[in-house]
């Protein structure tokens, strides 16, 4: 018998005893194709720039960020599997699900479940698909990875190596991007309610700030004057999108047409507000007007609305020129790009199926629209920025859970997993379809219809009505295309701990997010001393 609580913390809570080997990678058998990399805690700190030689505080390091080295391109060779779920994810030679050269069953045994797994090669490959497609059709393009889709530091380092900028939403995403060494000139700060500390960090480091409220002008100006800094600014627009008034939106964005859904969102400045901002910015010596910005969001698998949006941004450039004398040198057409899968994914599989546009489709349509409208209005071609997130990170990831209790009812069978909608939150919030496959014998004939559920105290439906082969306690199930908006959206409902995340590069597996421990969750809580007296019963013990 050993006690669950080893000693008390300073905040009055008993601390749970550390689980032996909970965060250390165990080496896979020598005969395995996959090798977990070993890394100590000090190495983790060194990799973040906070080793013993560090003389600056974290804030000082951020404010004096070192520019990254020039980007370089690692050659990629797509794998050939017996069944492909992506260029680097599929069914391997032993019939199990593989990520690159690693058997997912071995990864689950080594690192535990639930587990997020990212293919580094798939992430790089999908980024290059977007970059190359738009470069083929437009002369000056910059890809800004939407950090919110997966804001892990390792992911940001990969994007830096690929030459991607970044869309930062709030102080902490900006902080992480700077901590990873991203060139601030390739970052934009978005947000409808920016706080003074994040504006100061952006001004200090030279990010472009996309204004989304009238009072931001004076607040940014005061900070720039105090710091003696020039500041790049953009303006987030609220486009009219009249032609989209007769096109139905998607349920995940609420009722109404695409235009109605866009109009109902909090983002953006009207034409009149935009002109006012431009005139005011032109009078401020610390301001450099750089771009306009818009984000259509995920509404359709037709590239035409994206092309219409891009065209209207150029139309607004003409309006701004005529009413304020400024021509935006850059337009940022945001994110919301879809990707297609033969098995379907997305909200009820309504969008991201095999009819979804490719990056080539998007690039061709948007580039033609921008060029045509610029020619019509006698405007120079602007630099083009776009902010893909899930369309880059999504296909690179899978999430693995282990089967627990199996229950049969009169009309239904439930497969309980240790992964939940805490970890795949869009399954509950947006009725999102993540394709599920058994990890072992991944191509076995599906003979049963089951509900895949987590262990939370709600319905916790991750995958209702799924056709799968018979499963038993201890089996593994993987959900595909979960590289975006899973780890970054993960929750702790029912005090569930956050999973680990593992990065696969060829036959090497490395932890890039440590599995959360109970002591870390408890450590955030504080108990006033007046509540501690006589509040503890007998000691809790566990085997």
Per run of 10 residues, the mean pLDDT along the chain (length 543 residues) is 36 40 37 64 48 44 46 87 98 99 99 99 98 98 98 98 97 98 98 96 98 97 98 96 78 71 81 97 98 84 92 98 98 93 80 85 98 99 98 98 97 97 93 96 98 96 97 98 96 96 99 97 92 70 50
What's domain 127-394's architecture? Answer: Alpha-Beta Barrel (3.20)
- In the chain, the N- to C-terminal Cα span, in Å, equals 5
**pLDDT for 59:** 44
Cβ-contact 441, 469 below 8 angstroms: yes
**pLDDT for 530:** 85
- At 37, give phi and psi (nearest 5°): -80, 140
| Closest to 228 (Cα-Cα) out of 248, 200, 247 | 200
Query: What is the pTM (predicted TM-score) of this model?
Result: 0.87
**pLDDT for 344:** 87
The DSSP annotation for 261-273 comes to: HHHHSS--B-HHH
- Residues whose CB falls within 8 Å of the CB of residue 358, separated by 6 or more in sequence, listed in order: 129, 133, 340
**pLDDT for 393:** 98
**pLDDT for 299:** 61
Q: Is the dihedral of CA 12, 16, 21, 25 positive or negative?
A: negative
**pLDDT for 349:** 55
Inter-CA distances, 252 with 237, 262, 349, 431, Å: 22, 12, 12, 8
> What confidence tens digit (pLDDT) does each residue in 457-471 have?
999 999 999 999 999
């Amino acid at each position: 018998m050993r006690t669950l609580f080893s000693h008390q913390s300073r905040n009055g809570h008993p601390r749970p005893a550390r689980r032996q080997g909970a965060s250390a990678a165990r080496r896979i058998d020598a005969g395995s194709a996959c090798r977990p990399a070993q890394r100590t805690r000090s190495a983790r700190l060194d990799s973040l720039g906070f080793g013993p030689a560090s003389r600056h505080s974290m804030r000082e390091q951020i404010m004096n960020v070192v520019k990254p080295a020039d980007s370089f391109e690692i050659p990629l060779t797509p794998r050939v599997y017996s069944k492909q779920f992506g260029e680097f994810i599929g069914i391997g030679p032993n019939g199990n699900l593989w990520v690159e050269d690693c058997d997912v069953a071995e990864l689950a045994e080594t690192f535990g479940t639930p587990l997020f797994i990212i293919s580094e090669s798939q992430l790089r490959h999908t980024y290059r698909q977007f970059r190359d497609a738009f470069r083929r059709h437009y002369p000056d393009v910059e890809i800004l990875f939407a950090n919110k889709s997966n804001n892990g530091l390792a992911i940001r380092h990969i994007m830096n190596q690929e030459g991607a900028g970044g869309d930062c939403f709030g102080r902490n995403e900006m902080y992480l991007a700077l901590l990873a060494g991203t060139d601030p000139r390739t970052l934009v700060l978005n947000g409808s309610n920016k706080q003074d500390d994040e504006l100061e960090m952006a001004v200090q480091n030279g990010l472009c700030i996309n204004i989304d409220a009238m009072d931001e002008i004076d607040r940014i100006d005061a900070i720039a004057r105090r710091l003696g800094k020039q500041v790049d600014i953009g303006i987030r627009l609220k486009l009219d999108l009249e032609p989209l008034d007769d096109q139905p939106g998607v349920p995940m964005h609420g009722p109404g047409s695409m235009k109605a859904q866009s109009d109902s969102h909090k983002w953006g400045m009207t034409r009149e507000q935009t002109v006012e901002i431009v005139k005011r910015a032109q009078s401020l010596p610390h301001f450099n007007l750089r771009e306009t910005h818009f984000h259509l969001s995920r509404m359709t698998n037709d590239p035409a609305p994206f092309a219409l949006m891009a065209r209207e941004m150029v139309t607004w450039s003409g309006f701004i020129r005529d009413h304020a004398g400024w021509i935006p040198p850059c337009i940022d057409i945001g994110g919301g790009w879809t990707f297609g899968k033969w098995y379907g994914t997305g909200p009820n599989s309504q969008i991201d199926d095999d009819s979804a546009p490719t990056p080539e489709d998007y690039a061709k349509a948007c580039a033609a629209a921008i060029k045509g409208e610029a020619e019509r209005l006698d405007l120079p071609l602007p630099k083009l920025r776009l902010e893909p997130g899930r369309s880059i990170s999504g296909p690179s990831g899978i999430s693995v859970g282990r089967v627990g209790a199996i229950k049969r009812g009169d009309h239904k069978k439930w497969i309980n997993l240790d992964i939940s909608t805490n970890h795949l939150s869009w399954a509950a919030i947006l009725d999102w379809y993540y394709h599920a496959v058994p990890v072992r014998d991944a191509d076995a004939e599906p003979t049963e219809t089951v509900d895949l559920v987590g262990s939370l105290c709600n319905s916790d439906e991750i995958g209702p009505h799924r056709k799968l082969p018979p499963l038993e306690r201890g089996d593994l199930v993987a959900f595909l295309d979960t590289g975006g908006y899973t780890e970054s959206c993960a929750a702790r409902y029912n005090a569930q701990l956050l999973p680990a995340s593992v990065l696969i590069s060829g036959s090497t597996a490395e932890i890039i997010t440590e599995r959360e421990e109970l002591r870390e969750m408890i450590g955030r809580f504080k108990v006033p001393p007046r509540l501690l007296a006589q509040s503890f019963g007998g000691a809790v013990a566990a085997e």
